[in-house]
Amino acid sequence: MKLLVSITCITFNQESYIAEAIESFLMQKTNFDFEIIIGEDCSTDGTRKIIEEYRTKFPEKIKLITSSQNVGMMHNFFRTLHHSKGKYIAICEGDDYWTDSYKLQKQVDYMESNTDCSLYVHTATIIKEKKSTGRFVRPSKHDYIFSIEDVLSNSGGFFATPSLLFPKRLLDDLPEFFTDAPVGDYPLTMILAHKGYIYFKDEPMAAYRTGISGSWTENLWAGSHFRQKIIQNIEKDILILKGFDFYTNQKYTTLIQDAIDYKKAYQSLMKKEFSILNNYFKDKHMFIKLMLLSYGLFPKIYKKVRELQFIEKWRLQFVYKQKENT
């Protein structure tokens, strides 16, 4: 069979979860061949040993990429990408996993028939440790075509990482703003949306794990200095947006500036600097004002409230209504 998909999986200290991820890759039923590229970033637990056991059992399927010292999340991803030989890249990090054995087949069938599609994503179940939360990463309540405008106006990050599948050729030339980014989801979706359209399938085919100690998100919120870390992260997001503006020859400057203004408003709230907010709030819907104020002034409370199912439904209903009105 022809090799069509490279599954890229980056992992670090995920001995409790990596086997579940690998098993979900191996269970895929396809009429094409696929490979599994695992970037193991010098874990200090038993992660590498587990991967090596699977590689011994499936040497023709699993390739282990590692090094003598830790290289960091982004470089780890780029080296798995470099070693990939498939036409398409499917992403799933070592603490997430797939739940549908026909996931890859469904995604590839669509991509092969719709060559203008640059990214296929789908609904994912949110789990905490090993238990379902009853919530989903679900940016639309039905199948939907997302554009670059949607990605920029929503500040990215609303697609589940283990749902991503895209043509490898679209990342043959990696821009500097992407390689320098602290995390890859945001710039990746921007680049891919710029090169086609994003197809969202409202079908849960993966599990997205939260609350994992040592993860990028948990590290961001941990400790008493989380505000400063968030402020620094916003600065990096703004640099990504400016880099994308240059990369696209200012094609989306107005949308990018709107996204930057939102991030600066959020940043000023995190700093408790209120003087610059009047102009930003002037034409904004009350719901947006309340979300931004609560997130900026009481971020940890807001984060907990967002986890309540009925609150998330209210928020999504507003997002859907705004989308339908545009």
CA 276 to chain centre: 31
pLDDT recorded at residue 198 = 97
Which domains are seen in the chain, by residue range? Answer: 3-210 (3.90.550.10), 216-324 (no CATH)
Question: What count of other Cβ atoms lies within 10 Å of the Cβ of residue 208?
Answer: 24
Tokens of 130: 């090993």
Cα separation, 228 vs 306, whole angstroms: 21
DSSP lists the bridge partners of residue 206 as 98, 124
Cα separation, 72 vs 75, whole angstroms: 6
Instruction: Print burial letters for 159-180: b (CB count within 10 Å at least 16), e (below 16).
Output: bbbbbbbbbbebbeeebebbee
Give kind and range of the element (H or E) at residue 209: strand 197-210
pLDDT recorded at residue 210 = 87
pLDDT recorded at residue 221 = 47
Distance between start and end Cα atoms, the chain: 45
Angle between helix 286-297 and 253-270 (nearest 10)? 50
Return the closest-CA partner of residue 51 out of 14, 86, 1, 91.
14
Tokens of 65: 């990429």
Cα separation, 252 vs 260, whole angstroms: 12
Cα separation, 195 vs 189, whole angstroms: 10
Q: Tens-digit pLDDT profile for the chain (326 aa)?
A: 899 999 999 999 999 999 999 999 999 999 999 999 999 999 999 999 999 999 999 999 999 999 999 999 999 999 999 999 999 999 999 999 999 999 999 999 999 999 999 999 999 999 987 788 888 999 888 999 999 998 987 765 689 999 999 999 999 988 989 988 878 888 999 999 999 999 999 999 999 998 776 554 555 545 556 778 778 888 888 999 999 999 999 999 999 998 898 888 777 777 766 665 666 656 655 555 555 555 555 555 455 544 444 444 444 454 445 555 55
pLDDT recorded at residue 20 = 98
Cα separation, 279 vs 174, whole angstroms: 36
**DSSP calls for 285-319:** -HHHHHHHHHHHHSHHHHHHHHTSHHHHHHHHHHH
pLDDT recorded at residue 276 = 59
Cα separation, 305 vs 87, whole angstroms: 41
130 φ, ψ (degrees, to nearest 5): -125, 10
Cα separation, 205 vs 194, whole angstroms: 25
pLDDT recorded at residue 225 = 64
Cα separation, 127 vs 125, whole angstroms: 6
